[in-house]
Amino acid sequence: MSLAAAARPVLGVRIMASRSPAAATAGQRAARVPMSARLGACVPSIASVSHITGSSSSFSSSSRRQQQQRQHGRQQLSVSARARDPDALDDGGEQTEAANKEPPSLFWRCFAALCYLVPWIDSISLGAVMYAKFRNLLLFYYVPGPLASVYFGSQFAPLIIFFVMFLSIVKNTKLHHFVRFNCMQAIMLDIVVMLFHILRAYLPSELKWSIIGQYADMFGFTCCMATILYAVFWTVRGYYGDIPFVSESVYHQVQLSEYA
């Protein structure tokens, strides 16, 4: 038993001695391997990272192209949904859109300014007190004089003129947008003038023939004529005469008339 016990440590020493050179060489080899090679097995290569980023960028570019194509399709759908003359050719529609981009000529500016004669004629009856106090203002009464006799010649004449202006000018997409806008704005101003007439008609007689009624007529005439002259001035110059609370609704009405 003593010999066997003594032989075991000797064999263990021999085995460790025989394995120690191999372990030493393996440790030397591991020491010679660089750190980047050791981490290469765990960290992905640059080529794989670039491939992943390239695939993600291509996916994002393709998604952007799809979004652009969808937006372009929606624009084409909105343009094609516009109501046009069925007898007109496509080239005619393109020419009409191109003509709207150009500034209006002198003829169309004067034609658009003539549309404001309708509210002008309706507002001259509000200035009876102003004509009596300021004789120079009679010029505003005599300017639309010949047309006023035709306008008030029949009780149906104002209604007929309203439908003619709305159906033949405002809804006519072949005309310049500048002309259609000013025609619709003249109609809206005429409605405002009619509201002044309605308020004046329903005032009590104590107020209508008093100093309060006179000041109300002077205020209505001044506001209506100043607004009409302002719109005519900018229309002749070729600009859109924007009026607060009126021009916004006019823009919507002209836009809606293209789809009706």
- Exposed, middle or buried by CB within 10 Å (0-12, 13-18, 19+), for 119? buried
Which has more confidence, 69 or 111? 111
Which has more confidence, 172 or 12? 172
Which has more confidence, 57 or 100? 100
The mean per-residue pLDDT over the stretch 231-249 comes to: 92
Contacts of 247 by beta carbon, 8 Å cutoff, 6+ apart = 185, 240, 241
Least confident of 85-89, 115-119, 230-234: 85-89
- Asked whether residue 94 carries a pLDDT value surpassing 60, the answer given is no
Determine the pLDDT at residue 61: 64
Q: How many CA atoms lie less than 13 Å away from 155 in the CB half-sphere?
A: 0
- Asked whether residue 40 carries a pLDDT value surpassing 60, the answer given is no
Number of residues assigned to the chain: 260
Query: Which DSSP letter does residue 153 get?
Result: S
- Asked whether residue 183 carries a pLDDT value surpassing 70, the answer given is yes
Contact 115, 182 (CB under 8 A): yes
Name the pLDDT band for 75 (thresholds 50, 70, 90).
Answer: low
Specify the DSSP element, H or E, that contains 108. helix 106-114
Determine the pLDDT at residue 77: 41
Closest CA to 114 of 183, 21, 208: 183
The mean per-residue pLDDT over the stretch 200-216 comes to: 87
Specify the DSSP element, H or E, that contains 218. helix 211-237
- Asked whether residue 199 carries a pLDDT value surpassing 70, the answer given is yes
Task: Please report, rounded to a whole number, the percentage of residues in the chain having pLDDT higher than 70.
Answer: 63
Name the pLDDT band for 89 (thresholds 50, 70, 90).
Answer: very low
> Average pLDDT, whole number, for the chain?
74
Least confident of 2-11, 32-41, 153-162: 2-11
